[in-house]
Structure 1
């Protein structure tokens, strides 16, 4: 698949996932964690405007400010997702209006209110984009100050969540605090899972067949070092290579079948920088 098409599909799919989680599970349950959409729940309670419309208005205002302050490069990365999220929420509100939650299980709905937006955010962060909102404020602060942005956004989220305890009820507020606590960890775990690769250390007597399989079948490369067994004193070879998960399964099976006496050490890693993986 063309790289630009894949990037566009990831932007669109992740934003739609965020929209579904926010509209069907977050807004209807009055969960107030999470930036602009959390603030939108509070505004909707006042009757001034709906949560979806407030999200749309605020995202458009922040987009314009971000474009003026941060320039065209910012717009290219963020505008599409921010507009799509805002428009989708407004369309859902008009096509499928909801006066009450989908179920009578708030904990179940909280799980989806956390998981779906976190998954969408993680995909966007992983490809160097975002859905706008408070991320725009963070980018502006980062450009013009040495302010601790992460801490500032966390404090803002906490204040919005505390306000939810007073505007709704303590039960809803506690659910919102739980969502706030879990959300950031879930985003990090999603990103780590997306980038998970396998690092191989293979100790063997004849490295050529294994290296040939890595290079010509898997399309990867490897590094071979001469070593010596501490117990036997015999010459050994160590093959170092990094693979994605499907390739790792193929290599493991190949070695087990063709050189069962080889010693294999396989490690999980989510940070591999270089050709074929992440660029610096």
Structure 2
């Protein structure tokens, strides 16, 4: 039987509660008082509130239940239970902040959109980092990321979904509101990435095809102190078998490797691919074990 890690559970719910508070504050104290619209289920709920007169928190509940059902079907009970937690907790916190009637910024839509993007992005990032979802479009993005678009960043999928919602808001409200919403979503997307993957410089993956692969391997192993993977490949033009080297390192180390290769084999082929994050043992890599 798997041992229950109490400290990890406490840490999970602490960060999730903090994320809920930040997002609820951003919506009730920055977004709504400024007359702005956002993406996600919140944006849909606000749009329907304007069209129907029904309070957006009630609409949010109904839409969250529909997303929850989809998550249970596509991602299983474990993910579903995590969404259940936030489907109950987040709307409750949102209602509390709505009743407090706190206005953080007034009469400055540009500044409001910037602040909303920052606060909401940090809050959403905290929830996603612990593996939870608010039961909104971030859940839909998570499903698409896991099942279909594994090669696309979670924040990019969120941006595409929310852009569709924001485009609809331009019809209900006006173009200015929609444009401010786009600004806040872009800022939020960047903050989600920073919270989830940290402030460190991005990693790169280098693929090298060279006749001097032994010298290059030794340089990467002993001078750069990075691991190297090698595999045989077959070229399509010459139909010849070559050896391809692959390593993951920082951008600065990539430039050192490039300099060495240019001095060693100027005819080498080098492919550099940006990497969002690396999990595992290694210098500058993130640990697979979650912090408690």
Shorter-chain TM-score range: 0.5 to 0.7
Deviation at 1:19, TM superposition (A): 1.2
1:96 aligns with 2:105: no
Give the 3-state SS of the residue equivalent to 1:129 in structure 2: coil
- Alignment partner, residue 247 of structure 2: none
- Alignment partner, residue 274 of structure 1: 281
C-alpha separation in 2, matches of 1:156 and 1:271: 26
1:79 aligns with 2:84: yes
Please, what TM-score do these two structures have when normalized by structure 1?
A: 0.62
Give the 3-state SS of the residue equivalent to 1:274 in structure 2: coil
Deviation at 1:8, TM superposition (A): 1.6
- Alignment partner, residue 206 of structure 1: none
- Alignment partner, residue 188 of structure 1: 193
Q: Is the 8 A contact 1:56 1:90 kept in 2?
A: no
- Alignment partner, residue 38 of structure 1: 43
Q: Is the 8 A contact 1:56 1:87 kept in 2?
A: no
Please, what TM-score do these two structures have when normalized by structure 2?
A: 0.60
Give the 3-state SS of the residue equivalent to 1:278 in structure 2: coil
**CA distance 1:111–1:145, change in 2 (3 Å):** closer
C-alpha separation in 2, matches of 1:56 and 1:109: 25
Give CA deviations for 1:207-260 in whole Å, capped at 9, x if unaligned: xxxxxxxxxxxxxxxxxxxx9xxxxxxxxx9997xxxxxxxxxxxxxxxxxxxx
Higher alpha-carbon deviation: 114-123 or 101-110? 101-110
- Alignment partner, residue 130 of structure 2: 127
Q: Is the 8 A contact 1:29 1:101 kept in 2?
A: no
**CA distance 1:147–1:190, change in 2 (3 Å):** closer
Mapping for residues 143-222 of structure 1, pairs under 5 Å:
153-193=158-198, 196=200
Mapping for residues 3-18 of structure 1, pairs under 5 Å:
3-18=8-23
C-alpha separation in 2, matches of 1:61 and 1:2: 32
Q: How many residues matched? A: 217
Give the 3-state SS of the residue equivalent to 1:279 in structure 2: coil
Q: Which runs of 5+ in 1 are unaligned?
A: 198-226, 228-236, 241-265
Structure 1 segments of 4+ aligned residues over 6 angstroms from their partners? 146-152, 237-240
Q: Which runs of 5+ in 2 are unaligned?
A: 1-5, 202-218, 226-251, 254-275
C-alpha separation in 1, matches of 2:21 and 2:125: 13
Q: Is the 8 A contact 1:33 1:158 kept in 2?
A: no
**CA distance 1:178–1:138, change in 2 (3 Å):** closer
**CA distance 1:6–1:154, change in 2 (3 Å):** closer
- Alignment partner, residue 107 of structure 1: 110
Q: Is the 8 A contact 1:53 1:90 kept in 2?
A: no
Give CA deviations for 1:138-186 in whole Å, capped at 9, x if unaligned: 4555677679986765443222212222222332222112222332122
Deviation at 1:58, TM superposition (A): 1.1
Q: Is the 8 A contact 2:28 2:101 kept in 1?
A: no
Give the 3-state SS of the residue equivalent to 1:130 in structure 2: coil
